[in-house]
A and B are shown apart, each in its own frame.
Chain A
Amino acid sequence: MHVEHLFFKHHKGDDYFFKDLSFTLEKGKMHALHGKNGVGKSVLFDILHKTAPCNSLFLGKIVSEKIECLSQQFDITLANEFTFLENLQCSSFKKFPSPFRFLKQVDHFGSIEIEKILLRFHIDPTLLVHKLSGAQRQILALLMKLAKKPKILLLDEPTAALDEENATMVFEFLNSLQNITLFVICHDQKMIHRYATGTHFTLKKHHDGSRILIS
């Protein structure tokens, strides 16, 4: 992914929030983004994922393959009264679910073998989602995003609501993903240094109010 000369304003009359940001994410690696609360990390992800508000102003060039983004509130993406497996199966529905097709067996998403994931992270696929641990729910939310076969995955604080054991489990899962570029917002420096093999970025507020990205 290449971002070249990115300029961004929340509203047309505002000062620039991002001024001339340029960076590259190396393919297949986990890149980290950190910075203080409110500095604009999630805003940057919205721009990269092309979900910034329509009344904002965006200039610049983003060259990337298919992107998916998982927000901090990953729980809202899951159907709690359904099992892990049903959530996975339903995530591969097309835009208009058919009354003539039944749920398909899900063996793998691209190179990810579901059976291996279930064994490695001790997940019972027949359990209802609300009975799974936080890390298992996060892994499910990630798998559902991976069902769309993205090349780049943006993760906004994927372990914010998890304890250390569960956070390690999620990072272990992310680490096992191959051929996917990950860009992760994370405040946990220990996890970042252990798992993020790509560039580490810090987003800071410049004295003129705009944000600068330091790698």
Chain B
Amino acid sequence: MIEQFFILLPLVIGAYITFSLLKLPDFSIESAYLFGAVVSYLCRNLELPIVIFGAIFGGVFVAFTVSALNTLLNIPFLLRAIIANGLFHGVTQYLLGTSQKSFHILSSISSYTICLGITLALILGFGLLIYSELGYALAIYGNNPKFFENQGISSKYVVSVGLALGYASSALSGFLFALCNGFVDLTMNYGIILLCLTSLILGKSSYVYFFQKTRQNLVIPFLGLCIYCVLQKLLLKVGLPLKYFNAFQALCIVATLTLFKKTKQISFDHLGV
């Protein structure tokens, strides 16, 4: 469970930046997760830092493709996320050749140590970033995108950099998944949106309930993923078959939203996060 937590935390942190802070319907995070794993697979025979950098590059590449679709063609965000998903599904299929490839790197460092190192570095990095000018800019964009128009701040820059950071983090998660499981699979990204949303909604609800705060904080994805993993473990213990887990996640979101909306303790936005 702990290893799973360290694999998924970069993904949920990435989703927190794009979904919760920027408030973007960020479905192409699935592509970043898979593409990060695929690019690191292509670099598998090189040194470990290059493999990690390859994963980051994969995520950033997806982010800039999505940003470019808006900047150059002015396509709305939801549509460009769908287009990017289609596009990168084809690209990953082409790069992999088959639907699944085994994945092992040359480094002698254990996969658990790599997971731990990357996740701790991300927690430290994003923990600082979230209180920097850029962190505030990301959160303010989610609250009121027009703030930037009136203050002469580039909203394109804020969105592009926010996406790049979020997608790079998700891509690292994809790399860690492939590393720990020993394979890259074309379907490994299926359902991760639901996982992200469940974790973020659980995280936000419990954070606001316990701390009475709504401000941007890395505790939200951390707490959300903790609850998610504990719930998953409990359900497996009581014998829930894994094939029903997506349905359970959907129900979990509905239950949380209903509970907190009824008690009017937390207001949820258009993305529920």
Contact = CB atoms under 8 A, between A and B. Distances in A.
A90 interface: yes
A82 B140 CA distance: 8
B110 interface: no
Nearest to A91: B151
B153 A95 contact: yes
A77 B132 contact: no
Interface string B126-167: 000101111111011001101100111110011001000000
Given A78-B144, A96-B154, A90 B136 contact: yes
Interface string B204-234: 0000000000100000000000000000000
Contacts, number: 71
A158 to B, nearest CB: 15
B132 A90 contact: no
Interface stretch (A3-11, A41-49, A98-106, A171-179): A98-106
Give the bracket for the number of chain A residues in contact with chain B.
20 to 34
Give the top 7 A-B pairs by smallest Cβ distance, nearest first: A97-B133, A97-B137, A99-B134, A77-B150, A81-B143, A79-B143, A79-B140
Nearest to A77: B150
Given A93-B137, A95-B157, 16 more contacts: A76-B146, A79-B140, A90-B136, A90-B151, A91-B151, A95-B152, A95-B153, A96-B157, A97-B132, A97-B157, A98-B132, A99-B129, A101-B133, A102-B133, A103-B131, A148-B152
Given A77-B150, A81-B214, A144-B151, A93 B133 contact: yes
Given A76-B146, A78-B147, A144-B151, A99 B135 contact: yes
Contacts of B152: 95, 148
A164 to B, nearest CB: 27
Contacts of B129: 99
B136 A86 contact: yes
Contacts of A101: 132-133
